[in-house]
Amino acid sequence: MFMNKLISQSHIWNSLKNHQKYLAPVQMKDLFALDEHRYENFSIEACDLLLDYSKNRLTKDTLNLLQQFAEKVELNSWVKKLFNGELVNNTERRAALHIALRNRSNTPIIVNGKDVMPGVNEVLDRMRKFSNSVRDGNWRGYTGKHIENIVNIGIGGSDLGPAMVARALRIYQHPRLQSYFVSNVDNSHLGDILTKINPETTLFIIASKTFTTQETILNAQTARRWLIEQLGNDEAVAKHFVAVSTATKKVTEFGIDPVNMFEFWDWVGGRYSLWSAIGLPISVMIGMERFEELLAGAHKLDQHFATAPLLKNLPVLMALIDVWYSSFFGTTSQVILPYDYTLKLFPAYLQQLVMESLGKRVTRDGNIVDYATCPVIWGAPGNNGQHAFYQLLHQGTHIIPTDFIVAIESHYDLSEHQDAVLSNALAQSHALMMGRNLEKTKQNLLNMGIEGEELSKQLPHRVFPGNQPSNTILYKKLTPEILGTLIALYEHKVFVQSVCWGINPFDQWGVELGKNVASTLLPALRVDTHNNAHDSSTNGLLNYIKAHRHSVL
Ligand code: G6Q
């Protein structure tokens, strides 16, 4: 299977390895002391985003080597392949054309000899008409009432993107409408929401690319049954259910008329699909005009990505820095810290985008890599994290590259709060970089009147090693356009990392495995007999559940 050499066998990889050995003991605070223009030299502004990457463990030499690395892996040619609709998803033999969904310039994009743009525009047009009719009250429920609740039923890529965007842009939502996102098959998710909504004023959007996903179909069936029971007639379904899918036949079999179905295509990956009809809950909630602003923001970033030189290119820079840490410093996680509460769901959204795309250990050629690839992505809104897990960042044993994502202004007129948010964000990235050495800590303790034996005891606990790397991304205010730009930034960053590591970011065989095994143990749970067909742990757990479930019933 070894067709090509791994990138780790290249000269440039070796140079980066040696360079890391040289930089490993270097303190960022010394780099700042040596270069009073470090901020100017290591920050860029593009697409209304400012990226300050000066608080990273790198120098101009590092960037030059990383640029050579990007050239070695032929990054520019891969970007062209992506934008030209080539089959970059090689294991599924598909293009990955999320850029077509937001191609506001409307230039033709050809897949299998056919321009995809007319189809994209047609679906956008249907979304516009449908969203308008729900919002202006022309679309009525079965009993003639206006729609007030939008319940999206979907999971993974058919949930995380729209849920994150709907939350982030809540300030723009229609005053009559409330959105809910049901993903988990645990009945406490759907069950809880059904207690809050009125069937007469509820619209269910069943979002599933394949329309076979166990969780989504079971939730959709239950919601459908509930609605018919509540409204007393199965004709009500046509007024309360729409579907978003690539699978017309399955949607029809489920009982949703294809006129109420919004189409997308196999060249749209689940986790890249919020720009497609999967964004329907977004366009209904905030209106099509705002949804198109989201698309426009992403398109702006697409153009920047396709044209800016490597070291002036936001996603390229961020990706190269990540590769630098994962593959050369051996970091194993990255933390995402939005200092913008509206981005509450952004870390969870990025967990899927990054880890489902890059959580791979085999190259496109089928070789097993001998270097580290995707880090574990985690995070939470910044201020909350400060009172919880930041301890690990300040004094733990790991190097954890951090993205501070910071809004300069908020949508709410509470400037005192915004100043507090901003000062916290800047103070944290500063403290993580600077740390506090033994001398300063000692002085602090002496100032506090702690001396002698007590001082010696306290000292090691109060030292902060610092040198924790971070990026800071600043934007003025989280508008739909800025959010589109920000999401596209991370999407393309992931693509660049995949090129550096030689892996396909658009398949997800691990997730497919989960789907295949999802129903395998259902029959065992539904019979009363003792289980012994599996490994002893699975048998033991099954039998324990059955014994205790029966005893409760
Ligand atoms: C995304 C993944 C996965 C997928 C869900 C839902 O890239 O493939 O998260 O989106 O499993 O799949 P369906 O949309 O087909 O229900």
Q: What is the DSSP string of 439-482?
A: HHHHHHHHHTT--HHHHHHHHHHH-B-----EEEEEES---HHH
> What distance in Å separates the CA atoms of residue 508 and residue 356, rounded to the nearest whole number?
6
Nearest atom in ligand 1 to 272's CA? 7
Instruction: Determine whether the shortest distance from the Cβ of 279 to ligand 1 is under 6 A.
Output: no
> What distance in Å separates the CA atoms of residue 282 and residue 202, rounded to the nearest whole number?
16
Distance 276 CA to ligand 1 centre (A): 14
Q: Which residues contact 122 (CB under 8 A, 6 or more apart)?
A: none
Distance 269 CA to ligand 1 centre (A): 8
Instruction: Determine whether the shortest distance from the Cβ of 297 to ligand 1 is under 6 A.
Output: no
3-state secondary structure of 26: coil
> What distance in Å separates the CA atoms of residue 343 and residue 348, rounded to the nearest whole number?
10
Distance 347 CA to ligand 1 centre (A): 18
Residue 328 near residue 16 (C-beta atoms within 8 A): yes
Structural tokens at position 46:
């593009």
The residues facing 43 across adjacent strands are: 52
Q: Which of 511, 512, 517 to mutate to test the pocket of ligand 1 (most atoms within 8 A of CB)?
A: 511
> What distance in Å separates the CA atoms of residue 414 and residue 182, rounded to the nearest whole number?
32
Nearest by Cα to 43 from 63, 65, 29: 63
> What distance in Å separates the CA atoms of residue 356 and residue 368, rounded to the nearest whole number?
18
Give CA separation, 213 vs 262, 348, 401, in Å.
17, 20, 35
Kindly report the pTM of this predicted structure: 0.96
Distance 511 CA to ligand 1 centre (A): 8
Q: What is the DSSP letter of 362?
A: B
Structural tokens at position 383:
């201020």
> What distance in Å separates the CA atoms of residue 446 and residue 439, rounded to the nearest whole number?
11
Active-site residues, by number, are 356, 387, 515
> What distance in Å separates the CA atoms of residue 321 and residue 50, rounded to the nearest whole number?
16
Whose C-alpha lies nearest to ligand 1, atom 10? 157
pLDDT at 550: 65
pLDDT at 552: 41
Instruction: Determine whether the shortest distance from the Cβ of 213 to ligand 1 is under 6 A.
Output: yes
Instruction: Determine whether the shortest distance from the Cβ of 26 to ligand 1 is under 6 A.
Output: no
Whose C-alpha lies nearest to ligand 1, atom 11? 156
Q: Which residues contact 12 (CB under 8 A, 6 or more apart)?
A: 65, 68, 69, 72
Structural tokens at position 363:
């190259």
pLDDT at 413: 87
Structural tokens at position 216:
């989504």
> What distance in Å separates the CA atoms of residue 445 and residue 130, rounded to the nearest whole number?
65
How deeply is 29 buried, as exposed, middle or buried, from its count of CB atoms within 10 A (0-12, 13-18, 19+)? middle
**430 sits in which H/E element:** helix 415-434
Instruction: Determine whether the shortest distance from the Cβ of 505 to ligand 1 is under 6 A.
Output: no
Residue 199 near residue 239 (C-beta atoms within 8 A): no
Residue 496 near residue 315 (C-beta atoms within 8 A): yes
Per-residue pLDDT of the chain (553 residues), as tens digits, is: 445 689 999 999 999 999 999 999 999 999 999 999 999 999 999 999 999 999 999 999 999 999 999 999 999 999 999 999 999 999 999 999 999 999 999 999 999 899 999 999 999 999 999 999 999 999 999 999 999 999 999 999 999 999 999 999 999 999 999 999 999 999 999 999 999 999 999 999 999 999 999 999 999 999 999 999 999 999 999 999 999 999 999 999 999 999 999 999 999 999 999 999 999 999 999 999 999 999 999 999 999 999 999 999 999 999 999 999 999 999 999 999 999 999 999 999 999 999 999 999 999 999 999 999 999 999 999 999 999 999 999 999 999 999 999 999 999 988 899 999 999 999 999 999 999 999 999 999 999 999 999 999 999 999 999 999 999 999 999 999 999 999 999 999 999 999 999 999 999 999 999 888 878 888 899 888 898 899 999 999 999 999 998 654 3
Nearest by Cα to 279 from 471, 124, 414: 124
How deeply is 368 buried, as exposed, middle or buried, from its count of CB atoms within 10 A (0-12, 13-18, 19+)? exposed
Distance 158 CA to ligand 1 centre (A): 6
Instruction: Determine whether the shortest distance from the Cβ of 209 to ligand 1 is under 6 A.
Output: yes
> What distance in Å separates the CA atoms of residue 37 and residue 56, rounded to the nearest whole number?
14
> What distance in Å separates the CA atoms of residue 164 and residue 271, rounded to the nearest whole number?
12
Instruction: Determine whether the shortest distance from the Cβ of 156 to ligand 1 is under 6 A.
Output: yes
Backbone angles phi, psi at 450, to 5 degrees: -95, 125
pLDDT at 415: 84
**241 sits in which H/E element:** strand 241-245
> What distance in Å separates the CA atoms of residue 282 and residue 284, rounded to the nearest whole number?
5
3-state secondary structure of 204: strand
Residue 206 near residue 242 (C-beta atoms within 8 A): yes
Nearest atom in ligand 1 to 213's CA? 16
Whose C-alpha lies nearest to ligand 1, atom 2? 270
Q: Which of 183, 213, 245, 354 to mutate to test the pocket of ligand 1 (most atoms within 8 A of CB)?
A: 213
Instruction: Determine whether the shortest distance from the Cβ of 208 to ligand 1 is under 6 A.
Output: yes
Instruction: Determine whether the shortest distance from the Cβ of 511 to ligand 1 is under 6 A.
Output: yes
pLDDT at 302: 98
Distance 412 CA to ligand 1 centre (A): 35
Nearest atom in ligand 1 to 508's CA? 8
Residue 384 near residue 390 (C-beta atoms within 8 A): no
Nearest atom in ligand 1 to 155's CA? 6
Distance 235 CA to ligand 1 centre (A): 29
Residue 380 near residue 335 (C-beta atoms within 8 A): no
The residues facing 376 across adjacent strands are: 333
The torsion region of residue 47 among left (phi > 0), alpha (psi -120 to 50) and beta comes to left
